[in-house]
Amino acid sequence: MGNKNYTIKDIARMAGVSAGTVDRVLHNRGDVSASSLEKVRKVLDEINYQPNMFAIGLAAKKRYSIVCIIPYYMAYDYWYAVAGGIDRAAQELAPYNVTVNYIHYLHADEDSYRQACTQVLGEECDAVLLAPNFREETLKLTSALERKGTPYAFIDFNVEQTNALCYIGQDSRMSGYIAAKILMRHFREGQEVALFLNNQKQSPAEIQMQRRLEGFMQYLTENHVGLAVHDVVLDKQDADANRRTLDRFFDECPQAVLGVVFNSRVYQVADYLHATGRRMENLLGYDLLKRNVERLKTGEVDYLIGQRPAMQGYCGVKALCTHMVFKRPVTAMRYMPIDVLMKENIDFYFEFE
């Protein structure tokens, strides 16, 4: 195989033209005679020319700018962790003239999301890392980006029917399946299951929860036909309403001692249990928010499923760079490991590095 690294000079020599001409046809910026073009094309067809990325980066004085569109966050919550991973990648890539900037939006707020999408099109950037929210807005953005030839990648949630460079996140369905498996680990006859759900059906994150639920139900269908499963709908904010809901539920369904919360607010249920002194046999939730971890340690929560937010951010930025800066192929789907955290191993868990 021709594993030699050809340079532009090599090609120029082989084609009997100058390096400048080769460069012109490579970047088809015109002003090349038909005959020259022909000669260079011929050589290029025969060899496998791979431009030296170091030389490109150095000569072009090219600065790469990546914009990350993610929700606003507070210290130690989910998106805070994502941003941490992004920052780490940014630092690592700074020597390659890569700079990373953020555009934040209010999670599940359509106006805010639309505004973020509009803003990114205004700025000049070479690649976009997007934590998508509303489908329609997202599609508008991605097609605009495609028109501009700007590569983009999704993290956390995948929007199908786009041409994203890659998606990095968890296999939600599978994580639901595992949730069921773990929850049902110590199942004993007569026990029932509680699914704690959202009441904001319009939220885009709802789809992710839906997928988790699907996986969860699949496991039950396969292994526990006839099991009693209760839906308990909680509000994102209204603690009083939730307390009443839970009071009623636990009074009415004393057998429901196995519980799952498909959003990241298992602490809502756990705090209630903590306050009332009630106990469930097995309560499982998602994401290592501080409040969740506290309840894992105090024992109201038995399992937390982690989805490596920092690694998602890190890998997202890196993926865009391997494509854009290093010109190397990128895996289109990158599923994060499904970490299972318990009281016992939470202290020794650290996501990355």
Partner DNA sequence: CTGTTAGCGCGTTCAA
Partner DNA sequence: TTGAACGCGCTAACAG
- Residue 40 or 131: the one with the smaller Cβ distance to DNA is 40
- If one asks whether residue 14 binds DNA (CB under 7 A), the answer comes out as no
- According to CB under 7 A, which residues from 94 to 123 bind DNA? none
How far CA 197 is from CA of 27, 213, 215, in Å, comes to 54, 10, 15
Q: Using CB under 7 A, pick the residue from 41, 42, 48, 51 that binds DNA.
A: 51
- If one asks whether residue 332 binds DNA (CB under 7 A), the answer comes out as no
- Residue 47 or 241: the one with the smaller Cβ distance to a second copy is 47
- If one asks whether residue 337 binds DNA (CB under 7 A), the answer comes out as no
Count CA within 13 A, CB hemisphere, residue 101.
12
The DSSP call for residue 65 is E
∠ CA 351-81-162, rounded to 5°: 100
* Residue matched to tokens 């900037």: 101
Name the maximum alpha-carbon separation found in the chain. 88
Which one of DNA, a second copy, none is in contact with 35 (Cβ closer than 5 to 8 A by kind)?
DNA
**Where do contacts with a second copy occur on this chain (CB under 8 A)?**
5, 50-58, 94-97, 171, 174-175, 178, 181-182, 185, 335, 337-340, 342-345, 348-350
Count CA within 13 A, CB hemisphere, residue 281.
17
Strand bridging mode 339-341 / 303-306: antiparallel
**CA-CA distance, 99 to 129, in Å (whole number)?**
13
- According to CB under 7 A, which residues from 197 to 226 bind DNA? none
- According to CB under 7 A, which residues from 61 to 100 bind DNA? 61-62
Instruction: Candidates 58-66, 71-79, 111-119, 260-268: pick the segment binding DNA (CB under 7 A).
Output: 58-66
∠ CA 147-143-87, rounded to 5°: 95
- If one asks whether residue 327 binds DNA (CB under 7 A), the answer comes out as yes
Strand bridging mode 152-155 / 229-234: unpaired
- Residue 49 or 335: the one with the smaller Cβ distance to DNA is 49
Strand partners, 91: none
- Residue 7 or 112: the one with the smaller Cβ distance to DNA is 7
Binding site for DNA (CB under 7 A): 5, 7-9, 17-21, 23-24, 26-27, 30-33, 35-37, 51-52, 55-56, 58-62, 327
